[in-house]
Amino acid sequence: MYYLKTDITKPLNFLSAGVFTSDTVWQHMERVIDSFEIIIGIRGNIYIQQDDDRFVLGEGDFLLLLPGHTHSGYAASAKGTSFFWLHFQCNDNHIILDEKEAVEDIKLTNNNPYFTGFEDKILLPGFFHPFNLERLSILFHQLLHVSESNYYTRHSMNYFLTSLAIELTEQTLSQASGKKGNMDGKEKLSTIIEWLNIHYTGHISLTSAAYEFNYTKEYLARYFKKHMGMSMQEYINKIRIAKARELLIQSDKNVKEISSELGFSDDKYFLRLFKQHEKITPREYRRAYYKLHMNNI
């Protein structure tokens, strides 16, 4: 199966959408289009072919058709068959992943809370059955309402479309995370992560972790990078910076005290690392949060 992965720092481009209901026996026409199309089954079965791949869409099934491919119906659908349809275009920064590539991205997302691979992207499968059709139906009806309401800014449809795509991505990733056995050595990885989360305030490193789990440094470095999408030291630093943000907001400890508490022997290195991650200094972060809190009262 294929997946669409695309950037959403700018919204997707809405073209058209609607609800189709056949008033007679119906079969999809043959065509090639220059846009992506989402189809979600409402009632009956829809028989659609993309090039040589055949799909049967039942109630609640999701299908993503790709631009530049031949689409056609390969069998007739019964009278009363109904589905949502939506045409859109992506920004230039989009790719089509195969199953293996998408699974690797999903593994990283499920393994590592600091992995930002989908922070500003969506991932839509070619075909799946969303677990919460009601939520998608609400979003789709909102989109249809806006598209027919002559809003002053056309961007409103683009943002509603992007919200729908985000919800589809969330359901895709949630379903994938519930599948056992997708991740090789999941139990072993969880043990290593738990150890790092407990001991991050100490003077831990790849060397000490390799000793603790009886691996060579080289093997552990490769294994961790493969399953977490970053080096072990990068992961340790992210844990420490996350805790530093918490201490800056919830305590009155000074920067040197926080640095020491988090296992940094050099507070100047802590300052550099914090600014590298957050783009501001610890003191600026504390002041910024204080102002935000006051504005929310």
Question: Residue 71: beta bridge partners?
Answer: 31, 50
Q: Above pLDDT 70, what percent of the chain?
A: 91
pLDDT at 238 > cutoff 60: yes
Question: Residue 117: its pLDDT value, please?
Answer: 59
Instruction: Say whether 18 sits in a helix, a strand or coil.
Output: strand
Cα-based torsion angle of the residue sequence 172, 176, 178, 179 in order, rounded to the nearest 10 degrees: 150
What is the CA 280 to chain-centroid distance, rounded? 26
The strand order across the sheet containing 70-73 reads: 31-32, 70-73, 46-50, 53-57
What are 179-188's contacts with CB under 8 Å, separation 24+? 182/103, 182/106, 182/107, 182/110, 183/107, 183/110, 183/111, 183/227, 184/227, 185/223, 185/227
If residue 127 lies in a helix (H) or strand (E), which one and from where to where?
A: strand 127-128
Distance of alpha carbon 250 from alpha carbon 243, whole angstroms: 10
Average pLDDT over the chain, rounded to whole? 87
Name every residue whose Cβ is closer than 8 Å to that of residue 223 and which is 6 or more positions away in sequence: 185, 215
CATH number of the domain at 3-177, please? 2.60.120.280
Amino acid 182: pLDDT: 41
pLDDT in tens, 105-135: 887 777 776 665 567 889 999 999 998 887 8
What confidence score (pLDDT) does residue 295 get? 36
pLDDT for 275 beyond 70: yes
Between CA 259 and CA 268 the distance in angstroms is 9
Angstrom distance (rounded) from CA 114 to CA 10: 23
Residue range 186-295, CATH number: 1.10.10.60
Helix, strand or coil, per DSSP, at residue 89: strand
Q: What is the pLDDT of residues 127-149, one digit of tens each?
A: 999 988 878 988 998 898 888 88
Identify the pLDDT of residue 134: 79
What is the structure's pLDDT at 291? Answer: 41
How many residues can be counted in the chain? Answer: 297
Tokens 């056309």 locate to: 154
User: Which stretches of 22-93 are assigned E, i.e. beta strand?
Assistant: 31-32, 36-43, 46-50, 53-57, 62-65, 70-73, 82-89
pLDDT digits (tens, 9 = 90+) for 166-197: 999 999 988 876 643 344 456 688 889 989 98
Statement: residue 236 has pLDDT above 50: yes
94, HSE (Cβ side, Cα atoms, 13 Å): 23
The yes-or-no verdict on residue 290 having pLDDT over 70 is no
CA pair distance 148, 198, nearest whole angstrom = 54
Task: Give CATH 1.10.10.60 domain extents, the chain.
Answer: 186-295
Of the candidate ranges 151-160, 239-248, 278-287, the one whose mean pLDDT is the lowest: 151-160
- Residue 14 is encoded by which pair of tokens? 């809405």
pLDDT digits (tens, 9 = 90+) for 256-267: 999 999 999 898
CA dist., res. 39 & res. 17, Å (int): 10
Range(s) within the chain of domains with CATH label 2.60.120.280: 3-177
Residue 90, C-beta contacts closer than 8 angstroms, at least 6 positions apart: 4, 6, 7, 12, 13, 36
Rounded Cα–Cα distance for residues 160 and 154 (Å): 11
Q: Which tens digits make up the pLDDT trace of 54-92?
A: 999 998 899 999 999 999 999 999 999 999 999 999 987
Q: In the predicted model, is pLDDT for residue 229 greater than 90? A: no
